[in-house]
């Protein structure tokens, strides 16, 4: 029993599912037929859309009761490789074009194709000392480093014996 026990408005509506279901590839059966049956496609899609909408981690699905995280992620990878989400996107665009119409007169492009204005200088600063290696950090007080001295082991004081 998970946190989501009934339809809470986050599930795929029947009308939308009727359009998505034909786009899904047929599931593969286990070669030996000995494992648990596959999670229903609708549950897996509900779980995938839950992760995409909320931004939660895949493992958080285990607490919701929709579908296990491993099943949902495995199905997500399967469907991405099959191009299911791209087909859904294309169908949604076509439906939107049919009912509302896409205004193609206004287009916007987002991208960075130029040099960053605050990208820094081209050449790196040179070391202060001639023998300073590039990977060595300079001490805050800029004093010369010295090799650590070896401490001599101090012997334990002799214990007095009773009778001595």
41 near 71, Cβ under 8 Å? no
Check if the beta carbon of residue 66 is closer than 8 Å to that of residue 75: no
Instruction: Judge contact between 1 and 33, C-beta under 8 A.
Output: no
pLDDT digits (tens, 9 = 90+) for 61-106: 988 888 899 999 999 999 999 999 999 999 998 998 888 888 878 7
87, 97, 95: which is closest to 21 by C-alpha?
87
pLDDT by 10-residue block (mean), the chain, 164 residues? 59 90 84 79 93 90 89 93 93 89 78 64 62 58 65 67 64
Q: What whole-number distance in Å separates Cα of residue 37 and Cα of residue 32?
A: 12
First to last CA, the chain: 77
């Amino acid at each position: 029993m998970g946190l989501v026990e009934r339809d809470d408005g986050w599930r795929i509506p029947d009308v939308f599912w009727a359009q998505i279901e034909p786009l899904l590839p047929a599931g593969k059966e286990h070669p030996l037929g000995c494992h648990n049956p596959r999670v229903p496609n609708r549950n897996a899609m509900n779980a995938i859309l839950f992760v995409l909408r909320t931004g939660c981690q895949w493992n958080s699905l285990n607490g919701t009761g929709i579908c296990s995280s491993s099943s949902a992620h495995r199905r997500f990878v399967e469907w991405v490789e099959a191009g299911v989400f791209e087909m859904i996107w294309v169908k949604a665009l076509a439906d939107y074009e049919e009912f509302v119409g896409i205004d193609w007169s206004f287009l916007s492009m987002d991208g960075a194709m130029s040099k960053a204005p605050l990208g820094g200088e081209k050449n790196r600063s040179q070391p202060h000392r001639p023998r300073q290696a590039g990977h060595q950090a300079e001490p805050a007080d800029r004093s010369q480093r010295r090799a650590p001295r070896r401490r001599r082991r101090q012997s334990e004081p002799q214990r007095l014996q009773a009778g001595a």
